[in-house]
Amino acid sequence: DTAVSQTPKYLVTQMGNDKSIKCEQNLGHDTMYWYKQDSKKFLKIMFSYNNKELIINETVPNRFSPKSPDKAHLNLHINSLELGDSAVYFCASSHLDSYEQYFGPGTRLTVT
Amino acid sequence: GEDVEQSLFLSVREGDSSVINCTYTDSSSTYLYWYKQEPGAGLQLLTYIFSNMDMKQDQRLTVLLNKKDKHLSLRIADTQTGDSAIYFCADSIGGATNKLIFGTGTLLAVQP
């Protein structure tokens, strides 16, 4: 009965590879988010989707491409991985304009 | 752009009160939040305050908001070792996007 789930939990890959991280929520929310937390624990929003439409797109390299096949899923595909992409990526969901965002457990990406 | 700042580290003894401080720059904040992140885990919403309030109490947690100085604080009464975690304040840039801007995080270490 997990609310926001992410797969995989850990991802170790080499520079130049392409990888995807998946997120699913079963809370009936209409808005989903991707955040990046770097090695210093600094947490920053990357993208947000509402009803499968992109509504927030921060200054993120276009190697990162989010995809929302339906309201309950938001996946993050990363092309040509770089060392600086190593971080923990958190997915979150909420109702639009709700005060509360629910976070997933995170995916720790390590690029070697 | 928006900026949210916190002190990086706080150490207290078990049973004492902890006060974690946060300053923000955005004048149009709607909600301000406190999130807790335990080691290796995702973020958990602890409490929030609407921008037209100056205080909110929730069991051991007290949030104070000084809108004039753009200062937010979280007081934890009777701090326990289980409260050891990183605490993030976040500012909600509302409107249609519900974008959260997180502070740098404060590591709270509770000594037995």
Does the pLDDT of residue A1 top 80, yes or no? no
At B1, is the pLDDT very low, low, confident or very high (cuts 50, 70, 90)? Answer: low
The Cα diameter of chain A in Å comes to 39
Inter-chain CB proximity B96 and A42 less than 8 Å: no
How does DSSP classify residue B81?
G
B13 membership: H or E segment, kind and range: strand B9-13
Contact A100, A93 (CB under 8 A): no
- The residue whose two tokens read 């309201």 is A71
Mapping DSSP to helix (H, G, I), strand (E, B) and coil, where does residue B17 land? coil
User: How confident is the model over B21-32, as a mean pLDDT?
Assistant: 86
Euclidean distance between CA atoms A72 and A85, whole angstroms: 25
At B96, is the pLDDT very low, low, confident or very high (cuts 50, 70, 90)? Answer: very low
Mapping DSSP to helix (H, G, I), strand (E, B) and coil, where does residue A69 land? strand
Q: Report yes or no: A43 at the B interface, CB cutoff 8 Å.
A: yes
Provide, as residue numbers in chain B, all residues whose Cβ is less than 8 Å from the Cβ of A9: none
Instruction: Copy the structure tokens of residue A66.
Output: 């989010």
In this prediction, residue A79 carries a pLDDT of 96
Q: Report yes or no: A106 at the B interface, CB cutoff 8 Å.
A: yes
